[in-house]
Structure 1
Amino acid sequence: MKKTLIPIFMAATAPLTAEVVETWDKTFPQSEKVDHEKVAFKNRYGITIVADLYLPKDLGDKSAAALAVSGPYGAVKEQASGLYAQTMAERGFVTLAFDPSYTGESGGEPRNVSSPDINTEDFSAAVDFLGLHAKVDRERIGIIGICGFGGMALNAAAIDKRIKAVASSTMYDMSRVMARGYFDSMTLEERTKTLEQLGEQRWKDAAAGEPAYGPVSLELSGGEPQFVVDYAGYYKSKERGFHPRSINSNASWTITNPLSFMNMPLLTYIAEISPRPTLIIHGADAHSRYFSETAYANAAEPKELLIIEDANHVDLYDQVDKIPFAKLTEFFTTNLK
C-alpha cells in the first residue's frame, strides 16, 4: 500500500509532514463528482489529525458551506464517516471526514485511546481547519457525528459557537453507557467494582511502562446479543465495513479506556446548542435508540428527532437506502445559509 508525506496545517508555523496512505482504501467506491485529498492539522493539544477532504467538482470559484464528520466509535474515516462526507460533498458541501486522536492515521500515543474532552476538541480542530480553507464560508460550518461520535458532536456544538448546525446519526452517549451500563442497569456496587479494577490496571500499566489492551474486538464465540452480531457483520466483513486500521475490525481499546468517561457526562450542556438547530437521527429497531431519545428530550428548540423505520444501529453506517441523505441535505442547506 503506497504511503506519502502530506503537510500538516498549522497556522502561523512552518509546515510539518505526516505519513499517510496515498491510494484509495475506503470501504465505499470513489465518487466521480467530487475531488478528494488527504489533509492534516493539529488540535489544541498538539495532536496531528489526519482527514479526507472532499470538494464538489462544480464548486468553481465559489465558497461553500462545510461539514466535519467523524465516527462511529472505534471506526476510521475510510468507513462510515467517509461515506457520509463524500455523499454530502456530492450534494454541494465541502466536507471533512477525520480520524479521531489516537486512532487511524491520526497521531497520539498510546494508540487506541479515547477521551470525552480530546475527541470533542477534535471536532473543533476540524472547524479550525475548515474555517481557514479558501473554499469554505466560515460562517456556514456544521458537523455530523455518527454512533459514539454523535455524542461528541453534540458536546462540541454546545461549547463551540462557530458550529452553526449539528446532526447526529445512530448516536451513542459513550459517557452514559460506560458509567451506567446499557439501559442504566449498572448498580453502584458494580460501578465501584469496575472502578477498583480499572485502578488496579493502572498500577499494572505503570509497572509495565505501557498500557494493556483488551481482546480483539467483535471476535464472536456464540451467544452474543443481536446488536453485537450486527456490529461484527459490519466491521468484520470485507464485503461491507472491514478496514485494517479500524479498532473494531481487528484491534482493541486499552483496558483503562473507560476511565475518563466514568464521571464526565458528555451531554450535560446539550440545551446550550440552541438557538442553533439540532437534528438527531436513529433507527427504529436500534438497541441504542434510547440515547437519541434522551438527547432529544434534553435538547432545546430548534430540534428534530428523525426515526428511520426498519433500521437497526449499524444500518445507518452504510445502508444508503436507509441513511436519510435527503433530510441531511435539507437540514444543512436550510441552516447553513
Structure 2
Amino acid sequence: MEKNNEVGATIAQKYTANVGRRNVLKMTATGIAALGVGAVATGPAAARTRLTLTEKWDKTFPKSDKVDHKKVTFKNRYGITLAGDLYQPKGSTGKLAALAVGGPFGAVKEQSSGLYAQTMAERGFLTLAFDPSYTGESSGEPRNVTSPDISTEDFSAAVDYLGQLPIVDRERIGAIGICGWGGFVLNAAAADKRIKAVMASTMYDISRVSARGYNDSVTLEQRTKTLEQLSRQRWQDAENGKPAYQPPYNKDLPDSAPQFMVDYHDYYMTPRGYHPRAVNSGNAWTQTNPLSFMNAPILSYIREISPRPVLFVHGEKAHSRYFSETAYAAAAEPKELMIIPGASHVDLYDQMDKIPFDKLTAFFKQHLA
C-alpha cells in the first residue's frame, strides 16, 4: 500500500512536468484525475441542434451474425435525448431479460460498451449500449460535459426505455458499467430498485479520484488550489459565452508517461479502439467538468443495493484495482469480487480472453431468472 500511495502521489507530477500544460493540468494529481482519468482529450465537438444517427456499422469490433442490431433513441429525466444501440438475440421469442450497458468514462457506444452489449446479446439477453448525455451521438449542449447526477440518471433512463419494450420482462433488468461507468452504475442501482443485478467492470470512482487524486494522494492545499482555478475558469467561460476545453493529451505522450496512460493511448488512439466521437480519442472534456465531481461522492449509499447482487470484476495488475476493492468492502451481501490474473485496467475494455463473459452470463442468468 505504501508503494501504491507513492506512485499515486508522483504520477501527475511527473506527467505534468513533461507536458507543461496550463491551468488545471499544472496543479496536481487532482487535475489529471479530473480531466477524465484517462478519458482525456480535445477541443469542442461541433454543436448540434438535432440528433443525427450514423446507420453504417462504425464500431471498433466486428458485427455478430448471432444478433439483430438497430439504433434507438430515448430521453432521460432532464429532457436530453440519448442515442443507443439495441442488440437482440436472433430468433428470440417471449419476454427477455435485459441489460443496460455504459462506459468507459469518455468512451462511446461503438467501443467497449457495445462489445459487452453485443456479446451478452449473443448469450441470450436483450442489451442496450448508449452514449451518455452531451457526448457521442446523444444530444446536449455544450458538448463533452457531464456530472455524477446526469451520468447516474442516464442509466435509469436506459432502464426506462428497456422496460417499455414489449419483448422485455420488466422484473428482469440488470446493468453493466465499465470503468468510470462502473461507479455510476453502482450509484444508479442503489437508488433505482428496478435494476435487479449489477456488474461493475474495471471500475473507477470518478468522484473519488477527482477529489483526492490517485490512491487518495492529493492534499487539502492541492485540492483547494485546483478548485480555485476551476472556479475562476467559470468567469472566463461566462464572459466568453462558451466553455473552454482541456487540451488533448492522448495524442502526444511523453517518454515518462506512466504505463496506465500508455495503455489508454494504445486503446483510444490506435485502430484497436479509436473512435472519432469518443472524448478519449483525441477530444476533451470542458475545463470545468471536474467541479461537479469534486464534492459529490457517488458511492455513499452502495450498501442499499442489497439484497440485489453486485459483481465486481477487475484486473490483477490494474492501477485502478483499489477502487473495486474499496467498493466491494463497502457493499453489502450478496456481492462478489473477481480478480482477473495478469489483466490491466484497459484489458477489460476489449480483450475477449480476459473479460470473463462466462461469469457474466452465469451471474445474470442466475439473478435475472
Residue 91 (structure 1) aligned with residue 134 (structure 2): no
SS for the counterpart of 1:166 is strand
Matches of residues 211-250 of structure 1 in structure 2 within 5 Å? 211-219=243-251, 220-238=253-271, 240-250=272-282
CA distance in 2, matches of 1:223, 1:263: 31
Which residue of structure 2 lines up, in the alignment, with residue 102 of structure 1? 134
CA distance in 1, matches of 2:150, 2:326: 24
Question: Which protein, 1 or 2, shows the higher relative CO under an 8 Å CA cutoff with sep ≥ 6?
Answer: 2
Matches of residues 1-337 of structure 1 in structure 2 within 5 Å? 18-60=51-93, 62-219=94-251, 220-238=253-271, 240-337=272-369
TM superposition shift of 1:55: 0.3
Do the aligned partners of 1:146 and 1:169 also contact (CA within 8 Å) in 2?
yes
TM superposition shift of 1:292: 0.2
Amino acid of the residue matched to residue 200 of structure 2? Answer: S
TM superposition shift of 1:19: 1.6
- Which structure 2 segments of 5+ residues have no match? 1-49
Amino acid of the residue matched to residue 186 of structure 2? Answer: L
TM-score (norm 1): 0.94
- CA offsets, 1:100-131, max 9 Å, x none? 00100001111001110001000000000000
TM superposition shift of 1:58: 2.2
SS for the counterpart of 1:321 is coil
Do the aligned partners of 1:217 and 1:247 also contact (CA within 8 Å) in 2?
no
Amino acid of the residue matched to residue 45 of structure 1? Answer: Y
CA distance in 1, matches of 2:277, 2:174: 26
TM superposition shift of 1:152: 0.2
Amino acid of the residue matched to residue 167 of structure 1? Answer: M
Do the aligned partners of 1:217 and 1:248 also contact (CA within 8 Å) in 2?
no
SS for the counterpart of 2:361 is helix
CA distance in 2, matches of 1:299, 1:255: 33
TM superposition shift of 1:218: 1.0
TM superposition shift of 1:326: 0.3
TM superposition shift of 1:94: 0.1
- CA offsets, 1:181-201, max 9 Å, x none? 000000000000000000110
Amino acid of the residue matched to residue 228 of structure 1? Answer: M
TM superposition shift of 1:316: 0.1
CA distance in 2, matches of 1:64, 1:20: 26
Do the aligned partners of 1:73 and 1:148 also contact (CA within 8 Å) in 2?
yes
CA distance in 1, matches of 2:349, 2:223: 31
SS for the counterpart of 1:178 is helix
TM-score (norm 2): 0.86
Q: CA RMSD in A?
A: 0.7
Amino acid of the residue matched to residue 307 of structure 2? Answer: P
TM superposition shift of 1:221: 2.5
Amino acid of the residue matched to residue 205 of structure 1? Answer: D
CA distance in 2, matches of 1:104, 1:40: 13
| Count of equivalent residues | 319
The structure where strand makes up a greater share of residues is: 1
TM superposition shift of 1:216: 1.3
- CA offsets, 1:61-111, max 9 Å, x none? x11100000100000000000000000000000000000001000011110
CA distance in 2, matches of 1:130, 1:250: 32
Which residue of structure 2 lines up, in the alignment, with residue 13 of structure 1? none
TM superposition shift of 1:138: 0.6
TM superposition shift of 1:314: 0.2
Amino acid of the residue matched to residue 54 of structure 2? Answer: V
SS for the counterpart of 1:18 is coil
SS for the counterpart of 1:122 is helix
The percentage of aligned residue pairs carrying the same residue is: 71
